[in-house]
A and B are shown apart, each in its own frame.
Chain A
């Protein structure tokens, strides 16, 4: 079973890396970008074929390590 955990910065947290990317896009002459926030994606392979169990496990993984919930939110998607 495959899954994806997406970690993003909470709104209100300054993201200097996202700002730099935003500036670089502007410097490339790409019009119409109003904001960039940088995050992380984890593609994870799992032993379990049970979707509910996989979600519980991934939530633990995100809470314990993948995300720092002081500044980040996360989303778990079990791809199947």
Chain B
């Protein structure tokens, strides 16, 4: 594994992410500044972390999505490189055209900071091989704009092609409006691109990797990624 964690002004989860990768994969990722035009040689995983890039000015993620480093990320993804985009990173990935759709203001207009339950829809992706399909995991969210929407045709394609990877669910895995805290269409919490190598998700798996914080449900994602990259090597 040779991970690169991107840093934009206003991003604040990059150290959580680096720490989680280190704790779960035993690898210290490179931290890559947004003005770079190339990723470090040999990079096999790009992580776009959460935070408030550019203070959420204009639209969440809009300005970061146009940073020089994102051209390198688009080229990396086009060649099949793995990209994990979390929270503001998900918003950036959508704005950058790496993923379809938009994250809108939460339906209840509130910033939501709490643990949520996610149903893992598939285990046969590079990101989720550490989980079983249908498994429910508990991870935190912290966002004001996580309400996923896309046009009807895009949603139909996402669903038809099995590209919804995580959904907000009840603790026993039922999809229920009461547990869809931000109002996302079809309770969508995480999706992959057409090729399956770019994952965007609002919740923070990187914050549930050590028992002291109450749950280690996020470990499966990093362990799965490490296993994917090990097998590819």
Do most interface residues of chain B lie in helix, strand or loop, or is the interface mixed? loop
Q: Which residues of B contact A44 (CB under 8 A)?
A: none
Closest to A10 in B: B151
Contact, CB under 8 Å: B102 / A71: yes
B15 contacts the other chain (CB 8 A): no
Closest to B61 in A: A68
Interface string of B188-227 (1 = CB under 8 A from A): 0000000000000000000000000000000000000000
Contact, CB under 8 Å: B62 / A65: yes
Please indicate which of the listed interface residues A13, A16, A20 has the most CB atoms of chain B within 10 Å of its own CB. A16
- Selected A-B contacts with CB under 8 Å, 18 pairs: A13-B104, A14-B149, A16-B106, A16-B107, A16-B108, A16-B109, A16-B147, A20-B109, A64-B66, A65-B63, A66-B58, A68-B62, A68-B95, A68-B102, A70-B100, A70-B101, A71-B102, A71-B104
Please indicate which of the listed interface residues B104, B106, B149, B150 has the most CB atoms of chain A within 10 Å of its own CB. B104
CB distance from B104 to the nearest CB of A (A): 7
Closest to B154 in A: A70
A48 contacts the other chain (CB 8 A): no
